[in-house]
Structure 1
């Protein structure tokens, strides 16, 4: 431990690891050449410092101060008056490094685990059809669905029924114990609903992607979501249902909730309609809490700051999209415009960006089953703005 501290406390060494230059490179290469017995320790120290740079698990000095205060109280309780200061800083030094070592180890474990679970979700999909929804089976077969609104249902016998009409006979790979995943990709301008093999119903909004197993194996039911989905989870106390996103996981037994986790958004939004859910960050941290939501609560996870805020809401306002309308209350224009753009796969340019109109709040209802121009005219009237049609997919509000 003292060997590591020797390098950790050396500013030139830390600078060489994190921000190297020719002079430092020459110095440390010569140092290693002259002191070959130190080479292994230097390599280990470099790895630890680089890991600390990439994974900041201790968020603030206040959190470390709290740990240090506990150490100080323990020392004082032993009533060792003379060597207390020296002992304190020695223990402080070891305790801080111990915490860092543990943080790195546990973070690495969580990273490996999450990497395994999200491997298929992080794969890029080639040739994504922007005009049709796509059902991609584990064997690589792709099924295009042209309807604006589609419905997919998995049966217990391996059948997949699309729009209550077309039936696929899906057979998983023989003699395999490995979970096999299918994917449903819904482009902007369309939406879909899917009934999973356990009876859970997922309504998938425009511009979203759901990765899920044809049949759930093991002790958990896990799916992966990019974009927005409303989940009606089939109850199974022995097999919790987990929705994973890039930044957090939502764990439930049986409930109804909405998750919005579009890659382009800075906030992951979870709204609970019924039951209860537990929100857990994907990255491990000693000081990050899990959050349990109650009905009509919304949790916003800020991807940048990694902070979570919870507020009381009317959940029906947030889940109405899957029923075919946007029921909004004191919503900002820019947020509504973004939802309408995704639903109809169009571009809406707000030109008077310096005007109060862009940040004003609006209350009302938009029927998404209406054609796009009807919806935009209602939006323009509600905001007192003028609607200009540029072409079939581009509009201006000013």
Structure 2
């Protein structure tokens, strides 16, 4: 009697069987040969044959599932490795960012916080810090010298410049950094051979000493600037929705979205270029600009090239650590040009600004609060 073929479960094709499946089939054939003289009903023989076929099919399906489980495990391992790098790997940039978060917020005086937790106050409005002897000596405001340990494990120093103050930092390699009001810079007590890295919050102008074998990196919360030796400005204030770099000379390489697993992007810019990274849109845009309007603050004046009044007020508020209110918001977008000298007294600057714009200014009972408003006197 011929066996009936099950239409739903086709007989396995011997050409596509694995070695284990061929062995199982051979054992089944021996079983039938041994039992050929035994008495089985046709239905029993069909059921037994179908059971053997199902066993072989299940083994093939199990092999198929094992393949995809292994593939999924590999992909998962890759993702976990990437996430582990982003979350758990402590590179220098992330370590310095953590030090910046620990630094003083809103101090009245500029502070130099050393790696051994000593805090040195700098009382001048325009202070200076210079590292000498490979970083072992620190000269503060040309009046005092502090020693620090540079051997052993790497330590990080933090220079905190509050609103209303400025500071110039000279590192042991000869790099000079002008820090604007409301800024923090974290940097190693000494640079290891072959690498120079700092972390910035706020605004700073960098004049980097050239070193072919030691690239210089400026890290911010969402941008990395890599140079060998050049001059540029970086602005990365927490209350601005962007991070910007303006290149004065040389060339720099920018990396944005560095902390994403696959989204890191690199861009090179040339002198006279301003690169702005929009934090909300995660987009980097570049344009040619008059760089002086972005770096003149370090020389004690604002070069205003059709700058909106709201931007001028924001810069003055930071520079002098005062509140300046624009009484008529409609004037925020009105643009002005010219050079605004940043004098010692903010009232002298506001007088010049009022005269230039045709506005009046008045000081509130709180001496650190000023109001700019339209003149009530009609021409």
The answer (yes or no) to whether the contact 1:107–1:283 under 8 Å persists in 2 is: no
Q: Which of the residues 171, 177, 201 maps onto 1:226?
A: 201
Q: Which of the residues 214, 219, 222 maps onto 1:244?
A: 219
Q: Which of the residues 140, 150, 158 maps onto 1:162?
A: 140
Q: Which of the residues 306, 326, 351 maps onto 2:327?
A: 351
The answer (yes or no) to whether the contact 1:154–1:214 under 8 Å persists in 2 is: no
Q: Which of the residues 320, 335, 338 maps onto 1:364?
A: 338
How far is 1:370 from its partner? 4.2
The answer (yes or no) to whether the contact 1:106–1:284 under 8 Å persists in 2 is: no
The answer (yes or no) to whether the contact 1:206–1:343 under 8 Å persists in 2 is: yes
Bigger Cα displacement from structure 2, 328-337 vs 118-127: 118-127
- Counterpart-to-counterpart distance in 2, 1:101 and 1:304: 30
- Counterpart-to-counterpart distance in 1, 2:110 and 2:215: 28
- Equivalence for 2:129: 152
| TM-score, normalised with respect to structure 1 | 0.70
Deviations 1:2-50 (A, max 9, x none): xxxxxxxxxxxxxxxxxxxxxxxxxxxxxxxxxxxxxxxxxxxxxxxxx
- Cα 1:114–1:387 change in 2 (3 A) is farther
- Counterpart-to-counterpart distance in 2, 1:183 and 1:271: 24
How far is 1:286 from its partner? 3.6
Deviations 1:173-196 (A, max 9, x none): x5x2x3211110000000000000
Pairwise mapping of residues 247-286 of structure 1 onto structure 2 (< 5 A)? 247-281=222-256, 282-284=258-260, 286=262
- Counterpart-to-counterpart distance in 1, 2:280 and 2:81: 23
Contiguous gaps of at least 5 residues in structure 1 = 1-93
Deviations 1:262-288 (A, max 9, x none): 111111010000111111122235455
- Equivalence for 2:118: 141
The answer (yes or no) to whether the contact 1:103–1:286 under 8 Å persists in 2 is: no
- Equivalence for 2:286: 310
- Counterpart-to-counterpart distance in 2, 1:98 and 1:330: 56
The answer (yes or no) to whether the contact 1:250–1:280 under 8 Å persists in 2 is: yes
- Equivalence for 1:35: none
How far is 1:128 from its partner? 4.6
Q: Secondary structure at the match of 1:369?
A: coil
- Counterpart-to-counterpart distance in 2, 1:203 and 1:102: 42
Deviations 1:314-356 (A, max 9, x none): 1122111011111110111111111100100000011211x2x
Q: Secondary structure at the match of 2:359?
A: coil
Larger radius of gyration: 2
- Cα 1:140–1:382 change in 2 (3 A) is same
- Equivalence for 2:22: none
- Cα 1:363–1:120 change in 2 (3 A) is same
| TM-score, normalised with respect to structure 2 | 0.74
Q: Which of the residues 350, 363, 368 maps onto 1:376?
A: 350
- Equivalence for 2:171: 196
Q: Secondary structure at the match of 2:265?
A: coil
Q: Secondary structure at the match of 1:381?
A: helix
- Cα 1:385–1:183 change in 2 (3 A) is same
RMSD: 2.4
The answer (yes or no) to whether the contact 1:196–1:214 under 8 Å persists in 2 is: no
Q: Secondary structure at the match of 2:233?
A: strand
The answer (yes or no) to whether the contact 1:138–1:181 under 8 Å persists in 2 is: yes
Q: Secondary structure at the match of 1:338?
A: helix
- Cα 1:98–1:263 change in 2 (3 A) is farther
Q: Which of the residues 214, 219, 233 maps onto 2:189?
A: 214
Deviations 1:91-118 (A, max 9, x none): xxx9999989756643542444466532
Q: Which of the residues 300, 317, 330 maps onto 2:306?
A: 330
The answer (yes or no) to whether the contact 2:103–2:160 under 8 Å persists in 1 is: no
- Counterpart-to-counterpart distance in 2, 1:126 and 1:294: 34
Q: Secondary structure at the match of 1:318?
A: helix
- Cα 1:264–1:96 change in 2 (3 A) is farther
- Cα 1:319–1:99 change in 2 (3 A) is farther
Contiguous gaps of at least 5 residues in structure 2 = 1-69, 374-379
Aligned residues: 300
